[in-house]
Structures are given as C-alpha cells and as structure tokens.
Amino acid sequence: MILDLFKLDGRVALVTGASRGLGQSMALGLAEAGADIVAVSSSGECEEIEELVRETGRRFWHVKCDLGQPSDRVGLIDRVLDQTGRLDILVNNAGISQRHPPEEYPLSEWHLLMEVHLHASFDLSQQAAKTMLERGRGKIINIGSVMSYEGGLNIPAYAAAKHALAGLTKSLANSWGKRGINVNCICPGYFETSMSHVLQDDPVRGPQILDRIPVGRWGQPDEIAGLCVFLASDASNYMHGSTVAIDGGWLSR
Ligand SMILES: NC(=O)c1ccc[n+]([C@@H]2O[C@H](COP(=O)([O-])OP(=O)(O)OC[C@H]3O[C@@H](n4cnc5c(N)ncnc54)[C@H](OP(=O)(O)O)[C@@H]3O)[C@@H](O)[C@H]2O)c1
C-alpha cells in the first residue's frame, strides 16, 4: 500500500533547531509518522515540542548543543546513539539570520552564521553517516532556502551558506547514494516563524514580499512537515541530491 511507504515506525530522527518554527513542525510531523525524536537546540527550551511528541506516543530526547561552537558538536551523534541505539534520519534545520549591508557585514557574524548553517550541517552529516553507512541506510535532509537559488537583500552570509548547502547536498548524495543514504535539501520560501518576523513586521519589505508571493500569503510552519516526512521515508528512496522548493510559487515568479 502506498501510504505504508510513508510510515516511520521504529525509526529515530534527529532534528536540529526543533525547539520552535519549522524544526518543531518537522519534528512533530516525523513523530506523527511514527519516528522517535531527538531535538537539538542551543537553549533548554524544548518543552513544547517534547509535549507534542509525547502526545503522539513516541519517545523524545532533548540534546542541548550550541551548533555554532565546533567543540560542542564533538561526539554529538555518538552521545545520541548511546541513548537511542540507532539513528535513521538527520534533519539539519537549525539556523540564524543576520541582516547587514555587505559593506558593513561584521566578519564575526559571517563566521557564526557559516558555523551554524553550513559547518554544523556537514559535521553532523559526517558523524551520522558513520552509523548510516554501517547499516546501509539513512536519510539526511538539509534545510536550504529560496536563498539557495537567489541572493536576497543584505544577507550575504545567509545566501552564501544556503547556496553552499545545496552544493553540499549534491556532493554528499553523489558519494553516499550507492551506499544507502539519501541526501536531499528542502528549500522553504517565506514562512511565519520567529526568524522571519523582522521581515513580516517591516512596513516596507513585509508588503513587498507578500505581494511577490504568487499564492498571496506566507507559509505556515505546519505546511513543511509533509515534505519532510516524504524525504525521511521509503517513499523517496530514489531521490538523491534534490533541492525541493516549498515556497508558495516564489521561485516560479
Ligand atoms: N522561516 C522562513 O521563512 C525560512 C525560510 C527559508 C529557510 N528557513 C530555514 O529554516 C530553518 C529554521 O528556521 P525557522 O524560521 O524555523 O527559525 P526559528 O524559528 O528562529 O528557529 C531556529 C531554530 O534553530 C535553533 N538554533 C539557532 N541557533 C542555534 C545554535 N547555535 N545551536 C543549536 N540550535 C540553534 C533554535 O533553537 P535555540 O534558539 O534554542 O538554539 C531554533 O530551534 C533555518 O535553517 C532557516 O534558515 C526559514
């Protein structure tokens, strides 16, 4: 039965940045599809997603880790495996956004953004691949952006990191596809989360963005969960290295 391919019963999914926003929605979707959830965030605030996951009857672990600190990431997946015994799905979602004109962009912020979005995604993928390659199966989902295709305004580090994530997705997919790991990238458009409130509330940019979205509204966080479940499930076993936009038509304009 086709719907059985989407089931994730017995699998363990690690979602970075699961404390709120798109990460929380994807973590809940994966749990509703049957997966136990490991939520990674830098703050201790994961009570909401913990309650939501436990309501589905799945197991939940919270791992506190500042992904912007390479030392914090050392041995992260081994620590997770000690608790869960297995890891089937990795969603590299955690992110930050900083806006400055390029000529004023502080290098310290550039490095931090690259660390959280790009370096941590590679680091965790490399760590997760060890167990996934051993077992000959695994799903890695990177969260890019429409800025994996476009330059945006005053977000040079974010656009560079999101383009790089699309490239990393393709490179890892080429290396690991034959060995049972699917690596793909979800590229969201404009979704209502705490990260995007600064744009939504901007009296100039807010209406400009809304006007440019063909479907005429911002995305709701729960609208990304289905795509994540698909890419985490056996229904997407022949997808490797894809960057999939979910953007209300933004990139088609
Ligand atoms: N919202 C959009 O319109 C949109 C569009 C395209 C792409 N995206 C991408 O989607 C992803 C999620 O964005 P969002 O809108 O859901 O953002 P959000 O609501 O601000 O959530 C960001 C998440 O990342 C975690 N995080 C941030 N810095 C971290 C760090 N150093 N270490 C560990 N965790 C960290 C946060 O948890 P803590 O604060 O507890 O650490 C939080 O759970 C990001 O990669 C973003 O670039 C979003």
Per domain, the residue ranges of the chain are: 2-245
Per-residue pLDDT at 88: 98
C-alpha distances in angstroms, 116 versus 79, 111, 165, 222, 240?
A: 19, 9, 12, 23, 24
What's the whole-number mean pLDDT along residues 140-169? 98
Residue 14 in tokens: 């690690």
What's the whole-number mean pLDDT along residues 147-153? 97
Q: Which of 250, 49, 212, 246 is nearest to 141 (CA)?
A: 246
CB-count burial class (<10 Å; 0-12, 13-18, 19+) for 215: exposed
Task: State the distance from the centre of ligand 1 to the C-alpha of 156, rounded, in angstroms.
Answer: 17
Ligand 1: residue of 14, 41, 66 to mutate (most ligand atoms within 8 A of CB) is 41
What's the whole-number mean pLDDT along residues 99-128? 98
Quote the Cα angle for 76-132-120, to 5°: 40
Residue percentage of the chain with pLDDT more than 90: 99
Residue 45 in this model has a pLDDT that exceeds 90: no
pLDDT digit string (tens) for 54-101?
999 999 999 999 999 999 999 999 999 999 999 999 999 999 999 999
**Cα gap 240→231, rounded to integer Å:** 10
Residue 193 near ligand 1, beta carbon < 6 Å: yes
**Cα gap 27→16, rounded to integer Å:** 9
Residue 142 in tokens: 């990177």
Residue 39 in this model has a pLDDT that exceeds 80: yes
What's the whole-number mean pLDDT along residues 33-46? 94
The number of angstroms, rounded, from the C-alpha of 189 to the middle of its chain's C-alpha atoms is 13
Average pLDDT, the chain: 97
Q: Which of 164, 126, 174, 123 is nearest to 144 (CA)?
A: 164
Helix (H), strand (E), coil (C) string for 177-244: HHHCEEEEEEEECCECCCCCHHHHCCCCHHHHHHHHCCCCCCECHHHHHHHHHHHHCHHHCCCCCCEE
In the chain, the amino acid numbered 87 is L
Per-residue pLDDT at 3: 97
How does residue 44 score in pLDDT terms, banded at 50, 70 and 90? confident
Per-residue pLDDT at 6: 98
3-state secondary structure of 145: coil
> Which of 195-201's residues contact partners 24+ apart within 8 Å by CB, and which partners?
195/21, 195/95, 195/96, 195/97, 198/97, 198/99
- Active site members: 158
Ligand 1: residue of 37, 42, 196, 244 to mutate (most ligand atoms within 8 A of CB) is 42
Residue 127 near ligand 1, beta carbon < 6 Å: no
Per-residue pLDDT at 197: 93
Residue 17 near ligand 1, beta carbon < 6 Å: yes
Per-residue pLDDT at 132: 98
Closest residue to atom 43 of ligand 1, CA basis: 17
Residue 68 near ligand 1, beta carbon < 6 Å: yes
Residue 176 in tokens: 């690991």
What is this structure's pTM?
0.98
Residue percentage of the chain with pLDDT more than 70: 100
Per-residue pLDDT at 152: 96
Ligand 1: residue of 112, 117, 193 to mutate (most ligand atoms within 8 A of CB) is 193
- Quick check: 102 and 152 in contact, CB under 8 A? no
CATH (residue range 2-245):
3.40.50.720
Taking each helix axis from N to C end, the angle separating 225-232 and 21-32, rounded to the nearest 10 degrees, works out to: 50
Q: Which ligand 1 atom sits closest to the C-alpha of 44?
A: 40
What's the whole-number mean pLDDT along residues 105-132? 98
